[in-house]
Structure 1
């Protein structure tokens, strides 16, 4: 018996023939529509799909994963709540501090700063200092020592070197200093020296420092001797003030440039 591959074979029923013939059978085929779909037989072996999803949990996750997700969400909400509490507490403290601040301090508000023009700014940044080294020369007419102002360690910044003296360009407090060294091959116990610094202001000269020494010679006859003099002080100088140095024995000055110097620098 051939069967259609597209549909299962219909069931066959065996029935007894009439008139008492036991070995004769008739076969009857159940009449079914050729294109009818077979009836689905209920499956009682496995649980339904919905029950399986409920057993597995949310969206296919088991109960452990669901608890972990729940704990994470709770921690996030707790962190957000703690942050909001901290912000609220800080705002309260700032408000209390501002209320307790004295009225005078509250009135001091930052003001817009007005910058200096370039000329004033450069003047503030410019140094007022000078250091001169000795040339062992002295004017015969005025007795003012001459100095080296450009070479070696000598320099002038914000100060003018004029005719052996220093002229300041800005009023302020200055530290002024000078040192000279005397050297000779002959010596007499009565020899002395004078080392002075003078200030000229409004065409008037006055001595602001002086070192006077007598009886400094203790060398044996025929041996050379050397001595030095150092003066320094704080001076409040005004604009256009002019400073210069004098010595009593020009010929006794040492020829070493670095042992004879004169300078100043502005402190305030």
Structure 2
């Protein structure tokens, strides 16, 4: 039988081999953790990017790629809530203007007079009220809104039926880029259709409201103004007739 003698060199060599194997395993584990961390970070980035793209797509769909959105004609029963909500939204906007309407029949006014320094009215972020028109400070997307309220004194025709009275409200845009004045939004209602004789005898009249609101791509220097019929029937108490714009 052949004998084998373990020398001190053999022992040291074995220890070196064992130590090298341990170091290699530690290096492999650290590399795997780094790889998992990188993959997790990449997944989070991809998820965030997809969420951002989805948000921008939904927003662009709602704004119809910069084109005008369908006008909203709101029911009179929610006019107070609409006024409060829009007022709070416009306050948070960097650029916004909110005007209150005034009308004095004694001065034979041909349009609602908009005011920016009374009551809840204000202007900020470069917006200006000039010659009863709103001046757009910069090109971009804006939410334009307006409401007019009426208290109509209805009358009867020769047959004793209540005459229907048409009420209308429109927002116009004058732009150098377009070269002409165009209608942004308009709304029409008919008053005195379902009134009761008792209401007329008590002097209550017939109440009606027209609300308009939509998103538009506007240019710097554009001018917005309104046109309203039946001005003598207009209600200009606080929160009933207003006109405003705020940047998106």
Output the TM-score relative to the length of structure 2. 0.55
Any idea what SS the aligned residue of 1:251 has?
helix
Q: 1:214 aligns with which of 159, 170, 190?
A: 190
User: Residue 129 of structure 1 corresponds to which residue in structure 2?
Assistant: 96
Structure 1's 86 and 147: CA in aligned 2 closer, same or farther, altered over 3 A? farther
The answer (yes or no) to whether the contact 2:132–2:225 under 8 Å persists in 1 is yes
The answer (yes or no) to whether the contact 1:192–1:216 under 8 Å persists in 2 is no
Q: 1:156 aligns with which of 117, 123, 127?
A: 123
CA separation in 2, counterparts of 1:263 and 1:212?
Answer: 19
Any idea what SS the aligned residue of 1:259 has?
coil
Structure 2, gaps ≥5 residues long: 1-22, 40-91, 157-162
CA separation in 2, counterparts of 1:99 and 1:250?
Answer: 68
The answer (yes or no) to whether the contact 1:144–1:164 under 8 Å persists in 2 is no
User: Residue 191 of structure 1 corresponds to which residue in structure 2?
Assistant: 165
- In the TM superposition, what is the alpha-carbon distance from 1:196 to its structure 2 partner? 0.7
User: Residue 242 of structure 2 corresponds to which residue in structure 1?
Assistant: 261
Structure 1, gaps ≥5 residues long: 1-83, 101-124
Q: 1:182-211, CA deviations, whole angstroms, 9 ceiling, x for partnerless residues?
A: 113444523111111100112621111111
The answer (yes or no) to whether the contact 2:166–2:188 under 8 Å persists in 1 is yes
Output the TM-score relative to the length of structure 1. 0.51
Q: 1:248 aligns with which of 206, 214, 229?
A: 229
> Following superposition of structure 1 onto structure 2, how do residues 44-193 of structure 1 map, counting pairs within 5 Å?
88=27, 91-93=30-32, 127-137=94-104, 143-158=110-125, 159-188=127-156, 189-193=163-167
Structure 1's 215 and 185: CA in aligned 2 closer, same or farther, altered over 3 A? closer
CA separation in 2, counterparts of 1:248 and 1:99?
Answer: 66
- In the TM superposition, what is the alpha-carbon distance from 1:134 to its structure 2 partner? 1.4
- In the TM superposition, what is the alpha-carbon distance from 1:164 to its structure 2 partner? 1.4
CA separation in 2, counterparts of 1:256 and 1:231?
Answer: 18
Q: 1:44-93, CA deviations, whole angstroms, 9 ceiling, x for partnerless residues?
A: xxxxxxxxxxxxxxxxxxxxxxxxxxxxxxxxxxxxxxxx9998567534
CA separation in 1, counterparts of 2:245 and 2:119?
Answer: 17
> What CA RMSD, in Å, does the superposition of the two structures yield over aligned residues?
3.4
Structure 1's 154 and 91: CA in aligned 2 closer, same or farther, altered over 3 A? same
The answer (yes or no) to whether the contact 2:175–2:221 under 8 Å persists in 1 is yes
The answer (yes or no) to whether the contact 2:93–2:246 under 8 Å persists in 1 is no
Any idea what SS the aligned residue of 2:239 has?
helix
User: Residue 25 of structure 1 corresponds to which residue in structure 2?
Assistant: none
More helix by share: 2
The answer (yes or no) to whether the contact 2:145–2:213 under 8 Å persists in 1 is yes
